[in-house]
Amino acid sequence: MERDPMIVAGFGFRKDASQGSLQNAYDSACVSARPDVLAAPDDKATAKAFRLFAEEADLPIKAVPADMLEQQNTVTQSLKSLTERGIGSVAEASALAAAGPGAKLLTTRHISADRLATCALAIRETS
């Protein structure tokens, strides 16, 4: 029996990102797809703004451990992300890791207007 693909919206954001910052990045990334789950690094997944955003979007959160982020190959190679986390894009790595083995990016990272949050989409075909 074939199922619909699973789509994950992965996020990277600074500690002072607001719910509006997250929404702006999400809206930019999700023009042609509706995610099933939101993902962020485990040290950010419990941030108040992120939890409120997830509640408003009515989507579950998946916290991604650092070692899973580091295993992902991202298209974007942000110097800030490479320096701070050892990965090219936190949003892309979060989306890919949360989507699971065989996942592919639907969108590279989209940056919020205030530059405090990024969002990328990944998809994994399920069967």
Under the banding of pLDDT at 50, 70 and 90, the label for residue 125 is confident
38-75 residue pLDDT tens:
999 999 999 999 999 999 999 999 999 999 999 999 99
Enter the pTM of the model: 0.92
- As a whole number of angstroms, the distance between CA 94 and CA 119 comes to 9
Regarding the domain with residue range 8-119, which homologous superfamily does it belong to in the CATH classification? CobE/GbiG C-terminal domain (3.30.420.180)
93-114 residue pLDDT tens:
999 999 999 899 999 999 999 9
58: left (phi over 0), alpha (psi -120 to 50) or beta: left
